[in-house]
Amino acid sequence: MAKVAIVNVTSYMGAEVARLLCCHPHVQIVSVTGRSEAGKKLGEVLPHLAQIDLTIGIDPGEADVLFFSLPHKASAEAIVPLVGKGIRVIDLSADFRLKEPTEYQRWYDFTHPAPGLLRSAVYGLTELHRSQIKGSSLVANPGCYPTSAILALAPAVKERLIRPQIIVDSKSGVSGAGRTLSLQTHYAEVNESVSAYALEGHRHLPEMVQELGALQSSGQLSVTFLPHLVPMTRGILSTCYAELAAGKLPEGQRGIAELRQIYLDFYKGEPFVKVVGLSPQTKHTLGTNLCLIHPTIDLRTNRLVVISCLDNLVKGGAGQAIQNMNLMLGFPETLGLESLALYP
């Protein structure tokens, strides 16, 4: 049994890691931390996790794998002293996702405490970095929006099917904002309303540019990303648009069929990315580690349209983290993650 500790289990993401690991056949959760609730039984603070008989502490202690769900900057400060001690770390914050240190000052308003680690940390989008994750001791779990957008666009970018101007329009449930109270996520503010936010630029944008840009050897992508908040608890639906490059696909329905085959080939054998024939809905992925992708072409405008959806707390966070943990520990990648979606 691998021993696992969860740092900041009282966050939505930390609690979701605990929920998913509870039934993992080869893992034992040995400690959970949460400073504001230290000393209390986990089930007192999070009743749905009452069967995990642990007391919330401050120090994670010794474990084979540490899941960090701390806020940005605090996560890096806590992780840096652990590097080099043989402990495998999966960070669910953004603190090790970006390779360029100056991007942290620009997007997260702090100076990174260990810029040298950014190159050695592996960006944990499993479908693109599987071999690196297997041998890594520090995995930077991707953001929820980038997971949906990068998986939606990776085949088209890799095969140079599109011109470099990309638009990503995403809708997310309220849990993506975390458990910290704010006026913007109060029930009365969110219910029966849809709103766009971060029009000046969202923190997840540089992840999209970094990872999609790495899929092509030349040229620079221009990505416009606009997120929206919708009145639901979980789920992300991203609609991605880009003009098709000339001569890459046949015209008409043949082009749509060839595009779909390119996506099917790209994700062949992937357990958690499914190319589907109809436009997916967020409820189709509720509670699962799946990302559903529907690629098509707007024949009137010669524009690629790709729709993707996932559960922002599972494939967009905790589930992907466990998928990465399975790889790091040599377990089957799907272990503990094969549940079906909740419906209705």
Distance CA 184, CA 273 (A): 32
Burial 235-252 (b: 16+ CB within 10 A, else e): bbbbbbbbbbbeebbeee
Residue 16: count other Cβ atoms within 10 Å of its Cβ.
Answer: 27
Say yes or no to pLDDT of 189 above 90.
yes
Spot the catalytic one: 144, 240, 291, 309: 144
* Average pLDDT, integer, range 236-240: 98
- Is residue 219 over pLDDT 90? no
- Residue range 299-328: mean pLDDT, rounded: 98
**Residue 217 pLDDT > 90, yes or no?**
no
Q: How confident is the model at residue 121 (pLDDT cuts 50, 70, 90)?
A: very high
Burial of 186 (0-12, 13-18, 19+ CB in 10 A): exposed
* Pairing verdict, β 236-244 and 162-172: antiparallel
- Average of pLDDT values for 51-58? 97
Tokens standing for 255? 């082009």
Place of tokens 């101007």: 165
Quote the pLDDT of residue 113.
95
pLDDT confidence tier of residue 85, bands split at 50, 70 and 90: confident
Residue 82 is predicted with a pLDDT of 92
Q: What is the mean pLDDT of the chain?
A: 96
Domains along the sequence of the chain with CATH = 2-142+316-329 (3.40.50.720), 145-311 (3.30.360.10)
CA 107/CA 92 separation, integer angstroms: 17
Calculate mean pLDDT across residues 19-29.
96
| Active site (annotated) includes residue 144 | yes
**Cβ-count burial 256-273 (b if 16+ within 10 Å, e if not):** beebbebbeebbeeebbb
What does the pLDDT read at residue 177? 93
172 — pLDDT class (breaks 50, 70, 90) = very high
* pTM reported for the whole predicted model: 0.97
